[in-house]
Amino acid sequence: MELRGKKVIALGERDSVPGEAIAEVMRSVGAEVIEVRTECFV
Amino acid sequence: MDPENQALIKRIVDEQGGADIVVMLGAADAEAVEVAAETVRDGDPAWVGPLAGVQLGLPVMHIFEDDVKQQADAGVYEAQIGFFEMTLDIEGVKAAMRRARGEA
């Protein structure tokens, strides 16, 4: 799927990849990051 | 997927519509990944959160998938994700995403 121009909801996880790391990668693709969350299961 | 994130996604789609929206996951647990993908496409399988019975049909991808990595800036990807690729079960996550999409 072409990600450039898409609106991305980044759902990270505290014990894995955090939301902000996903968001940085998505911005490098040319996607618009519209929400960033980092879930915590602890 | 926790009810808070379900509510967030539902609100965004209600306000903006689902066109061009992609959910990008970062969880490392294969089962959690599969459930999250199912939740934003077909609704909450546990029938407890705001997406119970709500079929948003949103596309879902995982940050570990090759299709995502190939489109990203290589330097940014390495800086942000490289460590996690070495320490987490990325093949398990990729397999979970294929199952969630009915490809495996």
Enter the tokens of residue B41: 């496409």
Q: How far is A42 from chain B (nearest CA, A)?
A: 12
Chain B residues near residue A11 by CB distance under 8 angstroms: 1, 5, 23-27, 36
- ipTM for the predicted complex comes to 0.95
Cβ within 8 Å of B, A 14-33: 15-19, 21-22, 24-29, 31
Q: Exposed, middle or buried by CB within 10 Å (0-12, 13-18, 19+), for A2?
A: exposed
- Give residue-wise pLDDT tens across range B43-98: 999 999 999 999 999 999 999 999 999 999 999 999 999 999 999 999 999 999 99
CB-closest option in A3, A18, A35 to B68: A3
User: How would you label A15-33 residue by residue, b for 16+ Cβ within 10 Å and e otherwise?
Assistant: ebbbbbbbbbbbbbbebeb
**How many domains does one find in chain B?**
1
